[in-house]
Chains A and B, each alone.
Chain A
Amino acid sequence: MIAIVDYGLGNVSAIENIYRRLGIEVVAARSAAELAQAPRLILPGVGSFDWAMRLLDQSGMREALDDAVLGRRIPVLGICVGFQMMLRRSDEGVLPGLGWIDGEVRKFEPARSGKPTRLPHMGWNDVRSSTFDPIFAGLEEPMRFYFLHSYYVQLAAREGEIGTADYQGDFCCAARHDNVVGVQFHPEKSHQWGVGLLRNFAGSSSC
């Protein structure tokens, strides 16, 4: 069973639709009590960093989330801004992040590899896995996913990096720290690759 943390942001319906059509039980959790039951969590997110952190704090689920993830070590998948929230801070805002993954979120530089950077990074891009991770198991290579963001994750240590993409230079687009995994792209809008990744997250005990 998957619980999607529904704090008011992120494409909860799309993720629910995918799991329903896969026949996997899914629920949108809106309270600390609902979170407490879930064996696996998804933290979605779109929009700006501070807005997302504020809404998460206001949802009343912040403590339950920290407890589930850091205390009980429940597997959790962060998507897009949900992934960014798992880091310590972001260039986009002033509020601190959840700090579950060591690193920060940086804005794409105005120029990369000698070319001006057009923002946001929007569209389908290839994802290369750095070290094998079970969320990418069985996905057709080369993997491609849909991206829509202007900020990217910069890990404190490379070893947490499980996937990179090239936008005028490589950047980290997927990372893991124990039970916490995050992806910058949108698996709920990435056709077969996304469905496969979400299925992997729901199914594998090592996810």
Chain B
Amino acid sequence: MLRPRISPCLLVHEGGLVKTERFGNPKYVGDPINAVRIFNEKEVDEIVVLDIDATARNREPDYDLIRRLAAECRMPLCYGGGVRKLEHFERIVSLGVEKVAVGAACCELPELITKAAEVVGSQSVVAVVDARRSAPAAQPTVLTRNASVDAKVTPADHARRLEGLGAGEILVNSIDRDGTRTGYDLELVQSIRDAVSCPITALGGAGSLVHLGELVQRFGIIGASAGSLFVFKGVYKAVLINYPNRADRDRLVSESLGARGSLG
């Protein structure tokens, strides 16, 4: 039976790991290599690492960091940040990375998605859709470049277009839920699920295993990604790498899928 993927999402800022709240207020979390190494030993399903500076500062992907991260992963690694050319895709994939995530380039260089899908395969092209609601019930809109540029498109329309261009996976990220640990924006995820048929990974807002369960119960096979949940512990937000062990994960998944009943 195919399982929902549960993945830690790590943000790299100035070479160090950070965790943000609503895309702001970065709190230092430590050395990225050590974090990935510990997650690897915890046998996480897969891992997402995003460099949040690269595009804003017009820098190339940090190939040295990528190579070292890939060396620590016995599970799939998705890397994003500063990807704007076909050459970036090729180099990153050749360093041992399964998937390459693109954010701003989805809006600014859409033909890149198609070219990349042809060369490395669409399964390795992950389109990142950062979305924010101006108010809890308002329609979400897509933002890029660390939420500084309004793409003036709905997440669903954007995702549909990107799938059509060749993206093999959509990573949908709720900016307003980021770091809040109040649960995923399930309606946002639903709008993406209704728009595309490729795999989806949800990010932004997960604060406990219960939230992961809610996501799986509603959507079945999906990717559940989280930052704060796997990096912080307790009321003081103490930095402590954690991840449910295999038994707990399997139980969570089977209970959540079971609760879906005949939806499948």
Whether chain B is bound by chain A comes out as yes
Q: Are B71 and A17 in contact (CB under 8 A)?
A: yes
User: Does A46 touch B at the CB level, under 8 Å?
Assistant: yes
User: Does A120 touch B at the CB level, under 8 Å?
Assistant: yes
Q: How many angstroms between the C-alpha atoms of A122 and B79 in the bound complex?
A: 17
Residues of A within 8 A of B122 (CB): 120
B89 → chain A closest CB, angstroms: 11
Q: Which residue of B lies closest to A121 (CB)?
A: B2
User: Does A30 touch B at the CB level, under 8 Å?
Assistant: no
Q: How many angstroms between the C-alpha atoms of A121 and B95 in the bound complex?
A: 23
Residues of A within 8 A of B75 (CB): 146, 189-191
Chain B, 88-132, CB within 8 A of any chain A CB: 93-96, 98, 118-124
Residues of A within 8 A of B168 (CB): 120
Q: Which residue of A lies closest to B67 (CB)?
A: A13
Q: Are A186 and B76 in contact (CB under 8 A)?
A: yes
User: Which of B's residues lie within 8 Å of A, judged by CB?
Assistant: 1-5, 43, 45-46, 67, 70-71, 73-76, 93-96, 98, 118-124, 168-169, 197-199, 221, 223, 264
Q: How many angstroms between the C-alpha atoms of A69 and B75 in the bound complex?
A: 29
Residues of B within 8 A of A60 (CB): none
Q: Which residue of B lies closest to A120 (CB)?
A: B123
Chain A interface, number of residues (Cβ within 8 angstroms)? 37
Q: Which residue of A lies closest to B45 (CB)?
A: A124
Q: Are B98 and A11 in contact (CB under 8 A)?
A: yes
Q: Are B45 and A46 in contact (CB under 8 A)?
A: no
Q: Which residue of B lies closest to A192 (CB)?
A: B43
User: Which of A's residues lie within 8 Å of B, judged by CB?
Assistant: 11-14, 17-18, 46-48, 51, 115-116, 118-126, 144, 146-150, 166-167, 186, 188-192, 194-195
Do A167 and B2 form a contact, CB below 8 Å, given A47-B121, A150-B123? yes
Candidates B1, B67, B70, B119; contact of A125 at CB < 8 Å: B1
Q: How many angstroms between the C-alpha atoms of A109 and B75 in the bound complex?
A: 27
B77 → chain A closest CB, angstroms: 8
Residues of B within 8 A of A18 (CB): 74
Q: How many angstroms between the C-alpha atoms of A105 and B27 in the bound complex?
A: 48
Do A124 and B119 form a contact, CB below 8 Å, given A14-B96, A116-B197, A148-B98? no
Q: How many angstroms between the C-alpha atoms of A133 and B68 in the bound complex?
A: 34
Q: Are A118 and B3 in contact (CB under 8 A)?
A: no
B243 → chain A closest CB, angstroms: 13
Residues of A within 8 A of B74 (CB): 14, 18, 188-192, 194-195
Q: How many angstroms between the C-alpha atoms of A120 and B2 in the bound complex?
A: 12
Residues of A within 8 A of B120 (CB): 46-47
Q: Are B1 and A46 in contact (CB under 8 A)?
A: no
Q: How many angstroms between the C-alpha atoms of A188 and B233 in the bound complex?
A: 31
Q: Are B76 and A148 in contact (CB under 8 A)?
A: yes
Do A146 and B264 form a contact, CB below 8 Å, given A47-B121, A122-B5, A166-B1? no
Residues of A within 8 A of B199 (CB): 118, 120, 122-123
Q: Are A13 and B96 in contact (CB under 8 A)?
A: yes
Residues of B within 8 A of A119 (CB): 197-198
Listed by A's residue number, 17 A-B pairs whose Cβ atoms lie within 8 Å are A12-B96, A14-B74, A46-B120, A46-B123, A47-B124, A48-B121, A51-B119, A119-B198, A120-B198, A123-B2, A123-B199, A123-B221, A124-B2, A149-B123, A189-B98, A191-B75, A194-B74
Q: Which residue of A lies closest to B72 (CB)?
A: A17
Do A14 and B221 form a contact, CB below 8 Å, given A46-B120, A118-B197, A189-B75? no
Residues of A within 8 A of B123 (CB): 46, 120, 122, 148-150
